[in-house]
Amino acid sequence: MNKHKETSWETSASWYDKTVGIKGHYYHQQVILPNLLRLLDFDPKKPYSLLDLACGQGVLARFLPSHGTYRGVDASKTLIASAQKNNVNPKHQFQVADLAKPFTLETPLFTHVTCLLAAQNIENLDLLFQHAASHLQVGGKFICILNHPCFRIPRQSHWEVDDQKKMQYRRVDLYMTPMGIPIQTHPSQESNSPSTLSFHRPLSVYSKALKQAGFLIDQMEEWCSDKQSVGKTASMENRSRREFPLFLAISSIKKG
């Protein structure tokens, strides 16, 4: 991987902000956020504090219960400006911070840390997890949500159909080799399109990085699409959705 490659989403921030919107896209609303809130498992009788790493335009903040505080950080000035513009909770704060570099927050340690669909866009995974650990209380929970690294590998995984078996299946061309994959924001614009990098890593890389940062994995969940097809291919499409999860949630605890 090119260690000097610019990985900020600033060039694609306007597109991302419009795509996600204030309430998040379909999978935010229907799959990711309900399950993430369940895993966070806030005690309604105790205040919480949450640090959201690579928060984008702050979609998670707008779904959190009101009895806690929130701090969102992201490298994109445009996305942070959007988050601040749409924020109506005085206990929620946003700031620009480059997670690819060391940074500190002048706040007490947090009870929870999240990284929502962003770890695959950050090259220095070790540093990202170190940021989570250094700002989290001992015994606190860190939850990292990923596009599933086993089944959703840009340019290296595909849907295909076995006509003889009448089955849709997932073909994976590469898995164990970590790699950075450029993703065009507007493919129709070809070379004129801004692009971001998606970093594929096998599961063992995430496990090792979490252990090195001082975390103990306590739970992993795989979340599938809840969409339903109609028409003559609906049966095989719905079956494949049930069998191949879109997202992976890794919940870990900071050790003492």
How confident is the model over 125-161, as pLDDT tens digits? Answer: 999 999 999 999 999 999 999 999 999 999 999 999 9
- Confidence (pLDDT) at 108: 87
Bridge partners of 134, per DSSP, are: none
**Phi-psi category of 54—alpha, beta or left, where left has phi over 0 and alpha has psi -120 to 50?**
left
User: Distance between CA atoms of 252 and 209, rounded to whole angstroms?
Assistant: 12
User: Distance between CA atoms of 241 and 206, rounded to whole angstroms?
Assistant: 24
Confidence of residue 23 (pLDDT cuts 50, 70, 90): confident
Q: Phi first, then psi: what are they for 38, rounded to 5°?
A: -65, -45
110-121 pLDDT, tens digit per residue, is 999 999 999 999
Q: Average pLDDT for residues 15-26, to the nearest whole number? A: 67
For residues 69 and 92, the answer to whether their CB atoms sit within 8 Å is: yes
Picking from 27, 15, 6, 7, the residue whose alpha carbon sits closest to that of residue 185 is 15
User: Distance between CA atoms of 8 and 31, rounded to whole angstroms?
Assistant: 26
User: Distance between CA atoms of 12 and 15, rounded to whole angstroms?
Assistant: 5
User: Distance between CA atoms of 94 and 157, rounded to whole angstroms?
Assistant: 35
Given a cut of 60, is residue 5 above it in pLDDT? no
Given a cut of 50, is residue 3 above it in pLDDT? no
Confidence of residue 190 (pLDDT cuts 50, 70, 90): low
Confidence of residue 25 (pLDDT cuts 50, 70, 90): confident
For residues 254 and 142, the answer to whether their CB atoms sit within 8 Å is: yes
48-69 pLDDT, tens digit per residue, is 999 999 999 999 999 999 999 9
Query: Which of 41-45, 46-50, 54-58, 193-197 is predicted least confidently?
Result: 193-197
Confidence of residue 185 (pLDDT cuts 50, 70, 90): low
User: Distance between CA atoms of 110 and 118, rounded to whole angstroms?
Assistant: 19
**% the chain with pLDDT above 90:** 80
For residues 66 and 100, the answer to whether their CB atoms sit within 8 Å is: no
Given a cut of 60, is residue 2 above it in pLDDT? no
Contacts of 81 (CB under 8 A, 6+ apart): none
Q: Average pLDDT for residues 82-102, to the nearest whole number? A: 93
Contacts 24+ apart (CB under 8 A), 238-245: 239/167, 239/168, 240/159, 240/167, 240/168, 240/169, 240/170, 244/148, 244/151, 244/170, 245/148, 245/151
Amino acid at 21: G
Q: For the sheet containing 48-53, what is the strand order?
A: 92-96, 68-74, 48-53, 110-116, 136-147, 247-254, 215-223
Confidence of residue 15 (pLDDT cuts 50, 70, 90): low
Given a cut of 70, is residue 192 above it in pLDDT? no
Helix (H, G, I), strand (E, B) or coil at 171: strand
User: Distance between CA atoms of 56 and 52, rounded to whole angstroms?
Assistant: 9
Q: Domain 10-254: give its CATH code.
A: 3.40.50.150
- Confidence (pLDDT) at 165: 93
